[in-house]
């Protein structure tokens, strides 16, 4: 499950923590973010597995995440409001993408999609040939 904030006003870490806690009542769940200490301990040479790079660290991150998917019932990926390398990885890895947004009930009517929502829609339509 990827949790992607619609904009920077959303505390994605809190949303992910609450979702992970709820999922843990039904099985093993793990919250993963770009700055997770868990991922930092899996890196070699002091370089983060989530840093934008090619080659070995990207492949290693893929192997680490695949291993985690085998060990946990749910992985909750914490993306960011921008479509950076980590957020794109979260979206690709996830079976489900939740776009979290703040709702204060002060507005009415249609809300325009955020930049990250537009990215997700484009990624889905280009990957699966879906027209909306």
pLDDT tens sequence across 55-114: 557 778 888 889 999 999 999 999 999 989 999 999 999 999 999 988 766 666 567 788
* Mean of per-residue pLDDT scores for the chain: 82
* Tokens of residue 129, six digits: 């040939």
Q: Where are the domains of the chain?
A: 2-128
- 49: closest CA among 86, 100, 14, 94? 86
Q: Which residues of 29-42 are buried (b: 16+ CB within 10 A; e: fewer)?
A: bbbbbbebeebeeb
pTM for the predicted model, two decimal places: 0.76
Pick the residue with more confidence: 19 or 41?
19
Lowest mean pLDDT among 10-19, 26-35, 44-53, 101-110: 44-53
Using the predicted structure, report yes or no on whether residue 51 has a pLDDT greater than 70: no
């Amino acid at each position: 499950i990827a949790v992607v904030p619609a904009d920077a006003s959303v505390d994605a870490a809190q949303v992910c923590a609450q979702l992970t806690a709820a999922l843990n009542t039904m099985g093993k769940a793990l919250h993963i973010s770009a700055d997770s200490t868990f991922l930092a301990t899996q890196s070699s040479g002091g370089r983060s597995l989530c840093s934008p790079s090619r080659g070995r660290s990207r492949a290693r991150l893929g192997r680490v995440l695949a291993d985690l998917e085998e060990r946990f019932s749910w992985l909750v990926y914490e993306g960011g409001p921008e479509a950076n390398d980590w957020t794109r990885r979260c979206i690709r890895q996830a079976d489900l993408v939740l776009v979290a947004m703040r709702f204060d009930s002060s507005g009415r009517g249609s809300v325009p999609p955020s930049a990250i929502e537009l990215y997700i829609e484009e990624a889905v339509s280009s990957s699966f040939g879906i027209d909306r």
